[in-house]
Amino acid sequence: MRGALQFLSRKTGTPALIIERFLDDVAYYLELEDMREKVLSVVERDLRETLPTGGDIVVVGHSLGSIVAYDLLTRLPPSQKVRMLVTAGSPLGFPIVQKNLLGKQPGRKPAVPAKVPTRPAAWLNAYDVLDIVALVHPLAGMFEESVPGQLIDERTHNPTGPHAIEDYLADPDVAVPISRALQE
């Protein structure tokens, strides 16, 4: 993983320090199985405590959280229904990340998690072209979809910082679909 980050630095001209600052946590999460398992266990426990009998959720993941969200959706119980997946500032486009996702089949693109509804725009990916973490975008076409348009991308402009979650969530093209999904 570290080699891939160094390669990325050389190919993009982005200083290695910047790439390391923004993607180091991703490398640890993907490389250290114990860390990945602990993170997922905490999220699963909190979800069970919040919704002990399951129910409908909208999953929003930012940065490393988008990888955690993807992995989580491969492990949710049948009682847990997902209305929508939203990723923002996501490193899910990097081939080294895709290669290490849970449930990834060798020689195939990673699949949209089965828990994501089989309808258009069920997964919304937001990216700012200046966001180093979302450098590989758009995600549509990089994942096997159950239905055409299941994964859509939304380009944003984040005025306070390219990776700022508050800017991603303040963009009407991101906020409105989340609001609609929460009201379903």
Q: Please, what are the averages of pLDDT over each run of 10 residues along the chain (184 residues)?
A: 49 46 74 92 95 93 97 92 97 90 92 96 96 92 97 97 96 98 93
CA 28, CA 95: separation in Å to the nearest integer? 16
pLDDT of the residue at 21: 56
Closest CA to 83 of 169, 181, 173, 178: 181
Tally of CB atoms within 10 A around 125: 27
Q: Is 124 exposed, middle or buried (0-12, 13-18, 19+ CB in 10 A)?
A: buried
Residue with tokens 């992995």: 71
CA 179, CA 184: separation in Å to the nearest integer? 9
pLDDT of the residue at 16: 44
CA 41, CA 116: separation in Å to the nearest integer? 20
